[in-house]
Amino acid sequence: MKDETVYTLKKIGFYTVIFTAVAWILIPIIVSFLYGFTSKADYYDPHMVIPHHYTTEYVRVILFTLGAWDGIKNSTIVATLTIIISFILGIPAGYSIAKFVFPGKDTIKLSIIALRMFPIPVMAIPLIILYIRLHLADTLLGVALAHTAMALPFVVLITSSIFSGVSKEYEEAAMVFGLTRLGSFLKITLPLALPGLAAAAMFTFVMSWNEVFVASVLTLTHRTLPAQILSIMAGSSGGAAPDYYKFAAAFIMTLPAMLFIFFARKYLVTMWGITLK
């Protein structure tokens, strides 16, 4: 009887902690989404905790008057370019690390991890000099090239772990039946690795979508979404926007990334577990 009470109390305590943690994460997101659509009068009424009147006005102003829609388009272009370039460069390297044994492999792997640790975003500051010379300043390609440098170590490490998950025997069998190495890669390994690669692409997309420092430094008129929001919102670099615009902006920025990760959620724990080791 007494043991049972202790067990029940423990169970209640356990679920309370879990519930508190989940609420701590979810409440700020729900509140900011709610306030993004709250009418001005309700927001500035101190007694109105849960607002009654809603409007899409602020989201529309942010999108179409203050340039967030262009920001979304620019961010999508930059993120897509980043995926393309970093995969073209990263997949061969990842494949090589996964499938070959060669001298210096550990050193190369370690230096890629070390390069991943390098603060590539802040290097946008000196990089702008080269960009101005090459007419890459204020271009989306320029931002995508810098984002590629940021995402590439991640892509190499993640694709190498995806490829080493594809059994070597399939490829060897294909080569026995007369396919070249490239042929067996294209016909056997790549299709088997596709789901993992799709998840890696989504992560790369979110990485680029969320990046603000590089985008703010390298562009002026062709802003990505975070850079555009930062220049509208931050008090010290532009005019401070009214509160309800800030919440509408948070909604616009957060929703797409959350949807993306929702589709890749199956890979979340394994992916971070692998890459960060």
Partner 1 sequence: MERKSLLPYLLILPAFAYLLFFVGYPLLQALYLAFTQNGAFSLDTVRRTINDYYFWSAFKDTLAFAAVIIPIQLFLAIVFALLLNKAFKGKDLAIYALVIPLTISDVAGGLIWYSMLSPYGFVNKVLMNIGLISHPIYFFGYQFRSREFLAIVMAEVWRATSIVFIIILAGLQMISKEYIEAAEVFGASYWTRLRRIVFPMLKPSIQSALIIRTLFAMQIFGVVWILAGRDLPVLAGEGFYQLTVIKDYGVASIYALIIAGLSILFGAVYVKFLKAEYLEVMR
Residue 17 lies near partner 1 (rule: CB under 8 A): yes
Among 37, 154, 163, 209, binds partner 1 (CB under 8 A): 209
Tally the C-alpha atoms within 13 A of residue 132's C-alpha that lie toward its C-beta.
8
- Smallest gap from Cβ 274 to partner 1, in A, equals 8
Separation between Cα atoms, residue 231 and residue 237, nearest integer Å: 6
Tally the C-alpha atoms within 13 A of residue 114's C-alpha that lie toward its C-beta.
6
* Paired strand residues for 54: 38
Residues 53-72 that bind partner 1 (CB under 8 A): none
Which of 17, 125, 141 shows the shortest CA–CA distance to 81? Answer: 141
Residues 136-195 that bind partner 1 (CB under 8 A): 145-146, 148-149, 152-153, 156
Residue 117 lies near partner 1 (rule: CB under 8 A): yes
- Smallest gap from Cβ 233 to partner 1, in A, equals 6
- Smallest gap from Cβ 127 to partner 1, in A, equals 5
**Dihedral (C-alpha) 115, 120, 125, 131: value to the nearest 10 degrees?**
90
Give the range of 2-10, 15-23, 57-65, 134-142 binding partner 1 by CB under 8 A: 15-23
Separation between Cα atoms, residue 169 and residue 18, nearest integer Å: 44
Give the range of 24-32, 66-74, 165-173, 192-200 binding partner 1 by CB under 8 A: 24-32
- Smallest gap from Cβ 178 to partner 1, in A, equals 18
Task: Name the one residue in this structure whose structure tokens are 């009147």.
Answer: 53
